[in-house]
Chain A
Amino acid sequence: MSSHDQDPLQDHPEDHARSTPSGNGASSGSPRRISLPIVDEALAATEAASGAVREQRKYWRSIAEKEGSPKLAAAAQREFPPGASELPEVSRRSFMKLFGGGAAAAGLAACHPSDEQAIPFVRRPEEVTPGNALHFATAYGVEGYGLGLVVESHEGRPTKIEGNPDHHDSLGATGRYEQALLQGLYDNDRAKQLKHKDEPLSWHTFLSQMATLSGRHAADGGAKLRFLTEPTASPLQLELRKRILEKFPKAKFTSYSSIAGDGAADGLRLAYGKYVEARHELTRASVIVSLDADFLGEGPESVRAMRQFAGGRLPGAPMNRLYVVEPALTVTGMSADHRLRLRAGDVAGFALALAAELGRRPGFAQLAGIASGGHGVTAGDPKWISAVASDLIKHRGQSLLIAGRRQSAAVHAVVAALNAALDNVGTTVTYATPLLADPLSGPKALAPLAEEIAAGQVDTLVITAYNPAYTAPADLKFDKLLARVPNAIYWAAYEDETAAVSSYVVPAAHALESWGDARATDGTISLVQPLIAPLWGGHTDIEILGAFLGEGDLSAYEVLRRSWAAKQASVPGATGEFDQVWEKWVGDGVIVGTETSPEAALTLDAAAIQQGLGALLAAGPKGAGVEIAFVPDYKVVDGRFANSAWLQELPDPVHKITWDNAALISPAMAKSLGVEVERDNDKFSVLVIEYKDRRVHAPALIAPGHADDSITLALGYGRTGAESVASGVGFNAGVLRGSDAPWFDRGAQVSLATGMHLFGLTQNHWSMENREPAIATSLADFQNPRSEARELLEERRAALPTIHEPHDYSKEQYKWGMAIDLGKCTGCSACIVACQSENNIPTVGRDQVVRGREMQWLRVDRYYSGELEDPEVIVQPLACVHCETAPCEYVCPVNATVHSDEGLNEMVYNRCVGTRYCSNNCPYKVRRFNFLDFTSETPAVRRLGMNPEVTVRSRGVMEKCTYCVQRIERKRIDTRVAGRLIEDGELKTACQQSCPAGAIEFGNLNDLKSRVTKAQADERRYDLLHELGTRPRTAYLARVRNLNPELAKG
């Protein structure tokens, strides 16, 4: 009988990586056994499964069974190259050093060094309770700053990433990239072997070679020693830098990230006479003007910015108003109340025009002067500009202008002037001494180094920056140059383009394997602690820099601890025994009181700006022709996340592209180019883009709301490194990128290439077909009870007639429900990745997405309305809405989807036979089907990161959002054992927990005081497809646009 079909894994409930498909189909056939001692060993080292190790071994054997075919066996061997077998030893040794590495407080379970988990079963660590997860605080950041994280760990295996509520930039939420860290950790393609010119090397040999090297360089003070690092604010990194420069006075450090912009630093320097960095306080801003700034979609401040912005979108309280000026729709642009599409190059014109406009108003004479420095450069619709100007004046002191990272120093300077003139400085924007090691770290910063290399002035180049050979502007030919450096030491996460041309390749320890520290954007320091021993013996950049101080044999842990032991005094309130202080720091994830205060006495030098502008503008991009503008990709950034299938398959927040990048062009431009659209609006002509002597083939994608005569190209694709997921996806827009104009320039030639390109779009349809699934209304309409909008909302929450009495859930302890606020949601899509990670949702690959078989349980629908050239946009997150009278249920022949006593729409994978009838009858189309076997070939190591609380679905089984029922059940059991009820807020779904905007509320509808109950009682509440009488448990809150009466259409 079915319920007892044997499954390779079914016989150990204590096996935590439930990594074979559920249900019994998966186990058919007699699996061949091949012994993979290395697999056992290495993974035993990484895994701290509870219970008898036999289960663990059986588990790995069953992996071997899974990979029984020679092909897979070989793959498994590749996963664990020579040297891997000694891993456990390595771990144990470092464990002895790490012992006592800090314990958590602040409601987080006690922390313990990851290495102890290499030897789990003979002595079980105190705090490990089989099957109960632990949480550890750490931090991670893409652009030099650190975002505070809390990582859930099952028996020593990180399984889920959340934000740290105590962290200034996180506030408990995360972005897309942080959620995807797990995939980076358990990635088989990671660099695993330390090499010199492809010769395997042991860490010790490496250290000795580094010793000799640094000895040689010490002779001439490091004249030919160079360091190329990521932009960083890490105190430890800065300290090491300082000490290295003391040892090698002539050595140089260069910070470089291809996505960093230098405009801000230079612009503010022009404005204030020195390098400062801007910090934004959106809570205080009632009028926000973004000049090509995607402050909600990207950047170290974005997570916090979203929370703060969303806070000002409630019609009850005074609402903020967002104006966005940008070429291509961004997450910020989608949330705008008014949007003006302008070529990136014309944004400067807009800034000056705005300054001029304000200059004409009483009290802003100074701005007039500055504007005059622009020598008549102007752009943008005057009516629009004057409306914005009036609005800004009206909200003097509570307005905020933000310039984008792509924009030139000129724009940033003018914006600084505007903010100053509008008295925003000190309230909505403050300026502080830069936290980053180097104020300039963008593509331009790389040029001098390139020259030095070309001139043969570099013998040793230590590269801890991400993949410069790929990301560097094409005209520098950096990959060629690197090959010329005698000792290029590359700290490689993957064997990527740079690794291919570097003489030394040092496998990097993953962020979750490393000790270190980081700063939030307000300067607050977080300690970074490892969650697990380096899976393949990677090393931290700390250790590499240490090698040049003769401290290479010291572990990062030791270096860090020493430096903080020394600095303890400098931290306010950190008194007492260092060990306790340390443990608190590590446990909390933040060191309270380490934030830096903004510069008080700064005076804007208007004259300087006025003089400076001319030169800057002259230097900036000009001329005619088509504009090409580059953006960091929403998914792979500059390529560093390109090997994460989660992110590759994540639909682009705006254009819903998966596994691709595109040349985004406006509908008008498409017409003039003769771009053809085939199939169901997802197959487009390919363009040839020529710029200077460089050319690239790029498939076009028609992007409503894009500026004309401008092409937006996302970076990070067209990878050629040894990364199985990343390679061959999309095209490399970087080949067009020049160091003189790294972000945008005009004068590109565009023509049609032969052939079409089929995109894996998850949403091909732009219009709502007059069905208004996502409701947006203007504040005016919303405040008028008799308006159509209000009537629509009323209608969509009114009680519907029914022939039989609805089931009564009021007697139950819990009645789960959700509310999603479209006013807050920006469409950033962090929730999708969070859901994927929490629920072991497989990725299916490009072809399957093209066929319409993507598996994400949660999707974010994006609709355009109004005219195509300049549409209004609204986004709507949609997962199973748990209808009380669910159409999917009564058509299921086998009771595989039914209702729980608390009104959840349950999906029982192991009962499902896969008729797909439920999906057909689901009006929301939120059910997902395992059309093929998407799970059984998941690499062994990847399975370590799977959520043991969630069954992995087998082929032929339907699945869908469960409201994270595994979290509900665990919390229920814990509270019931403790003999209490689940309190509001202590139970969060994965999407809700990750949401930066706090747009999702989940909880008990029987509790009248719960946040979700209140939300569902809101005036903006409505039910999706209400007229069908499905009684969804998930309610939506309509978006209210705070339109400027002067600009309101019609």
Chain B
Amino acid sequence: MSHGGGFEPRRYVIGQFAGPEAMLDATRKMRERGHKKLDTHTPYPVHGIEEALGLGRAKIPTIVLCGAITGACLAYALIYFMNVVDFPINVANRPIHSAPANIPIMFELSVLLGGTSSFFGLMALMRLPEPYHPVFEAESFWRASIDGFFLSIEVPKGQSPEAVAAELKSLSEVSVEIVEESER
């Protein structure tokens, strides 16, 4: 484990709050003070988090819509090609191309592609699975999934984490920790 390869560890300031409200408040303030790379860590979605972090509109819905539409079109095209174009067979003298018979599969495929795209789209957006993340270095971070409310700030190069930590402390009742990405 040499410190070679010009490895630049990311540094984080992590504050744990008593409850969601305090956390939200601090988040907002820190953002107003021009901190960019903020993120919160909570056991359950906290109301107003988007606004506090200043996030835009969610992207998932668009992705899912595309998926669904693709599915429907794909289904119809598939059936049309197979039963009408490539090998039309006289089945019980029914019309070779009969739209009503295609509807069920169109629907199913649109749901399938819609659904899968929502899941895998989400994974892509969240960059998960990601087994390691520097914030896990924090002592008490394990509470984040149980009852802890955290705010993490990635400290840009050139800035000193201590300063940021101090700044955070000055804002509210919080226990602050500074962690550094470990090389792997």
Contacts and interface: CB of A to CB of B under 8 A. Distances in A.
Contacts of B89: 895, 898-899
Interface in A583-614: none
B170 interface: no
Interface residues of A, number: 18
Interface in A795-849: 804, 806-807
B95 interface: yes
A889 B95 contact: no
Interface stretch (A98-106, A185-193, A295-303, A879-887): A879-887
Contacts, number: 32
Contacts of B92: 883, 885-890, 899
A895 B95 contact: no
Interface string B78-98: 000000000001111111000
Contacts of B94: 804, 885, 890
A899 B92 CA distance: 6
Contacts of B95: 804
A994 B182 CA distance: 91
Q: Which of B89, B90, B92, B94 has the most CB of A within 10 A?
A: B92
A657 to B, nearest CB: 36
Contact of B90 (A804, A883, A898): A898
B128 to A, nearest CB: 39
Nearest to B101: A890
Contacts of B93: 806-807, 884-885, 899, 1031
Contacts of B91: 889-890, 892, 895, 898-899
A482 to B, nearest CB: 63
Interface string A892-903: 100100111100
A469 to B, nearest CB: 58
Contacts of A898: 89-91
Nearest to B83: A895
Contacts of A887: 92
A423 to B, nearest CB: 58
A966 to B, nearest CB: 21
A899 B90 CA distance: 5
Interface in A884-923: 884-890, 892, 895, 898-901
Interface string A764-807: 00000000000000000000000000000000000000001011
Interface string A535-550: 0000000000000000
Contacts of A885: 92-94
Contacts of B90: 807, 898-901
Interface string B22-57: 000000000000000000000000000000000000
A721 to B, nearest CB: 51
A812 to B, nearest CB: 12
Nearest to B89: A898
A378 B94 CA distance: 65
A898 B83 CA distance: 13
Contacts of A804: 94-95
A804 B90 CA distance: 14
B103 to A, nearest CB: 16
B102 to A, nearest CB: 14
A890 B89 CA distance: 11
Contacts of A889: 91-92
Contacts of A886: 92
B90 to A, nearest CB: 4
A887 B92 CA distance: 7
Nearest to B82: A895
Interface in A326-342: none
Contacts of A899: 89-93
A887 B93 CA distance: 10
B57 to A, nearest CB: 43
Nearest to A803: B95
A592 B125 CA distance: 96
A872 B90 CA distance: 42
Contacts of A895: 89, 91
Contacts of A900: 90
A901 B95 CA distance: 15
Nearest to A888: B92
A922 to B, nearest CB: 12
Nearest to A804: B95
A817 to B, nearest CB: 15
A887 B95 CA distance: 14
A927 B139 CA distance: 73
Interface in B127-141: none
B173 to A, nearest CB: 66
Which residue, of A883, A888, A889, A900, has the highest number of chain B Cβ atoms within 10 A? A889
B134 to A, nearest CB: 52
Interface in B141-177: none
B46 to A, nearest CB: 50
Nearest to A806: B93
A42 to B, nearest CB: 46
Nearest to B91: A889
A886 B93 CA distance: 8
Contacts of A888: 92
B27 to A, nearest CB: 56
Interface in A865-889: 883-889
A898 B89 CA distance: 7
A372 B92 CA distance: 69
A884 B93 CA distance: 7
Nearest to B95: A804
A521 to B, nearest CB: 49
Nearest to A887: B92
B50 to A, nearest CB: 48
A271 B148 CA distance: 120
A881 to B, nearest CB: 13
A1023 to B, nearest CB: 16
A290 B32 CA distance: 115
A889 B89 CA distance: 11
A892 B92 CA distance: 10
A901 B92 CA distance: 12
Interface of B: 89-95
30 contacts: A804-B94, A804-B95, A806-B93, A807-B90, A807-B93, A883-B92, A884-B93, A885-B93, A885-B94, A886-B92, A887-B92, A888-B92, A889-B91, A889-B92, A890-B91, A890-B92, A890-B94, A892-B91, A895-B89, A895-B91, A898-B89, A898-B90, A898-B91, A899-B89, A899-B90, A899-B91, A899-B92, A899-B93, A900-B90, A901-B90
Given A889-B92, A895-B89, 7 more contacts: A804-B95, A807-B90, A883-B92, A890-B91, A898-B90, A898-B91, A900-B90
Interface of A: 804, 806-807, 883-890, 892, 895, 898-901, 1031
Interchain residue pairs A-B with the least CB separation, the first 4: A889-B92, A899-B90, A807-B93, A890-B92
